[in-house]
Amino acid sequence: MADPKRLKIRVDPDKCQGHNRCKAVAPELFVLDDYGNAREAGDGTVPAGMEDKAYLAKSNCPEFAVEIIED
């Protein structure tokens, strides 16, 4: 699964319901607001070596709110 391409993640704020699964599996890639809803950290760029975690976050979000964009 480790992809040499650069990945970007994005949380769709309309879908996110704050299950907090993304933050639990990939704490470096997400930030939570005061209500416990998630956003991508920074501009969403996934640092090299963290690609697997990004996919893990996506595949554990029950609301299908995590998107991964491959450059």
Partner 1 sequence: MQQRARTPVQDWTTDWDHLDPQWIEDPYPIWADLRQKCPIAHTERFNGVYLPTRYADVRAVAYDTDHFSSRRTAIRETHHESGGGAPPITSDPPKHRLARMVLLPPFTPKAIAALEPKARRICNQLIDAFIDKGSFDGAVDYAQHIPVRVIAHLLGVPEDDGDLFRDWINAVLNEGITDYERMMRGLVEMTDYFRPLMEQRRKHPGDDLISYLVKQTYPDGSPFKDNHVLGSVRLMLIAGIDTTWSGIGSCVWHLATHADDRRRLVADPSLMPTAIEEFLRAYAPVTMAREVKQETEINGCRFKQGEMVLLSFPAANRDPEMFPDADKVIIDRKENRHAAFGLGIHRCIGSNLARMELTVAVEELLKRMPEFGIGGEVTWSEGTVRGPRKLPLKIG
Return the residue of 11, 26, 50, 54 that touches ligand SF4, per CB under 6 A: 11
Nearer to ligand SF4, 47 or 67 (CB): 67
Q: Which residues bind partner 1 (CB under 8 A)?
A: 17-21, 23-25, 32, 34-36, 56, 59-64
Nearer to partner 1, 4 or 62 (CB): 62
Q: Which run of H or of E encompasses 48?
A: none
In contact, 69 and 3? CB cutoff 8 Å:
no
Please name which of 48, 53, 64 lies closest in space to residue 23, comparing C-alpha atoms.
53
